Structure 1
């Protein structure tokens, strides 16, 4: 992996779908985890502030690297340039086709 590479990783987490951009992605020393480091966020010089981007920045502030469970990863792509990191609602599946594996829903108390 070269230093100029940028990767887009899409994964499930707590019922949401995360799309992050990072400079380094590798197999973790911890079994069944993907190590994501050097996470890239959008520029702060924008006039319009994106709430989902700000939520991601707040969630990953101070994080050097994060470990994503292998079963939660949907896709990893090497891309030409970074895009907009975002969190999408996972919600209930509509229709009769479901992605495997599905994240577990927390119990309702």
Structure 2
């Protein structure tokens, strides 16, 4: 009986955008406060329709063996049946970066 490989959809915040990627391995790093994402999965390059967002992610992670993502940047990790299209979104109203932006030093505080 062959064991099915797990596929994970990982959503995380990077440089003010939400990245959604698919990977075969996701685990807590030995490096405190980081999650490791390995063996990223992208669609086949031979397909006729090309998604520019996925192509950008492919080129960004092209030579990356392992990514260490800060734990506080992770939005969600899902185990899924099959991979989908990797994409980059704008940070929406439903997602807040943690920690929230603090007022500048010496700034006025209401209340």
Q: TM-score, normalised by structure 2?
A: 0.81
Q: What residue in structure 2 maps to residue 99 of structure 1?
A: 96
Deviation digits for residues 6-49 of structure 1, max 9, x if unmatched? 00000000010000000000100100000000000011121111
Q: What residue in structure 2 maps to residue 70 of structure 1?
A: 71
CA gap 1:44/1:71 in 2 versus in 1, 3 angstroms: same
Q: Structure 2 regions of 5+ residues with no counterpart?
A: 102-111
Q: TM-score, normalised by structure 1?
A: 0.82
- Give the superposed CA RMSD: 2.0
**Count of matched residue positions in the alignment of Structure 1 and Structure 2:** 99
Is residue 38–residue 65 contact of structure 1 (8 Å, CA) maintained in 2? yes
Larger radius of gyration: 2
Deviation digits for residues 57-88 of structure 1, max 9, x if unmatched? 11001100100000000000000100110011
